Amino acid sequence: MEYRRAWRPGGWYFFTVVTYKRLPILTVPENVSRLRISFRHVMQKRPFEIDGIVVLPDHVHCIWRLPEEDADFATRWRLIKHFFSRSCSVGKMGKACHEPVEWADRTHQSTADEKQSNSRKGKRERAVWQRRYWEHLIRNEEDWRRHMDYIHYNPVRHGLASVPAEWPYSSFKQCVEKGWYSVEWGSSEPKTIAEMDFE
């Protein structure tokens, strides 16, 4: 079966983007900073808005709003991944975002490069991101709210925080400032997202 992406100019989209072989490269604070820089760099050239985002050790969830008359999220993701991949560190990873540790033998980068596919080697791609990603066209306000809740509750679901406000790599605090959430939100899993799984 051939997968077809939904293209809607000016649309809102939910995305899940995963690291290559789910390696926790986003536990390195420098990599999280580099990812932020990559987003800013691409947004200057190809504008879009981010309503919600969370960066976890091996994946990212976010909601984008594209400009009117523009449905090209694919090029934006390609550019973000490329910009990030040029300088990210895959040779060290930490168990938690605030505790980066070196790998004992520091051989991961060469090992990952050796094990990558012939296709990646032929295109001179670093083994940093999975090529594909999950995208969902947001249908209405209720759908938007559910996906925003999913994004912000995700660190709790993964056992990385006891409440969303504890996780430093998400848009939760900005959403609290906008009045979209109370700072206490997420002490238990919202029923509206219990069946959702975009990992």
Catalytic positions, please? Answer: 169
Pairing state between β 49-55 and 134-137: unpaired
Burial class (CB in 10 A: 0-12, 13-18, 19+), 5: exposed
Task: Spell out the residues 6+ positions from residue 80 whose beta carbon is closer than 8 angstroms to its own.
Answer: 35, 38, 39, 42
Residue 6, token pair as written in the block: 């939904």
| Euclidean distance between CA atoms 198 and 178, whole angstroms | 26
Residue indicated by tokens 């990873």: 93
